[in-house]
Amino acid sequence: MSYIGDIINGSKTLLTGMSITGNYFFKNLFTRKDVITQLYPDNMNELKMFDRFKGEVIMFHDENNQHKCDACTNCEIICPNGSIEIVWERVADPETGKNKKVLLNHIYHLEMCTMCGLCIEVCPADAIGWGQDFHHVTRDRADLTKVLNKPGSSIMPGVKEKK
């Protein structure tokens, strides 16, 4: 008896789902209201992504080409699959004479990133965040490796550097 009951219950839920889909389809067939499907790539110029969209990790720079990354390597350590590499060196500070970390390259491998967001959450200076770029079509995987700090950029004054 439960076998036939399961078939009847399954058929009922199938018809319920199909009626919801059919109602949405026929209601919006001619009016095109409330349609969220985008006609990509035909509308690439006017396409706007939602604010919560996770496109890629970016590093914020101000108008003076300065960033907040102090090469603490927290993002590199917490990344579960190694999609972030921090290249840094110790340089003597001319004012104090003590050695301090200086960021050379903040390398991001988009092809390995799982978009988990751990790197962004762990960053103490809020130097990195989510970008809205979504068009990453390429024939070469090496094009998906990006250096996040811009050439010639420096750390913003007032950001606490790690020793």
Domain spanning 56-155 has what CATH number? 3.30.70.3270
CA–CA separation, 88 and 101 (whole Å): 6
CB-neighbour burial class of residue 59 (10 A; exposed 0-12, middle 13-18, buried 19+) = buried
Kindly report which listed range (26-30, 54-58, 107-111, 138-142) carries the lowest average pLDDT score. 26-30
Q: What rounded mean pLDDT belongs to the chain?
A: 87
Question: pTM higher than 0.75 for the full model?
Answer: no
Count other Cβ atoms within 10 Å, centred on residue 128: 22
- Give yes or no for a contact between 91 and 78, defined as CB atoms under 8 angstroms apart: no
Domain ranges in the chain are: 1-37, 56-155
Q: Which of 144, 48, 163, 152 is nearest to 101 (CA)?
A: 163
Summarised one tens digit per residue, pLDDT across range 34-57 is: 666 777 778 878 877 788 888 899
Summarised one tens digit per residue, pLDDT across range 91-116 is: 888 888 888 888 999 999 999 999 99
Task: Say what the pLDDT of residue 162 is.
Answer: 52
Task: Tell me the pairing of strands 66-67 and 154-155.
Answer: parallel
The residue type found at 129 is G
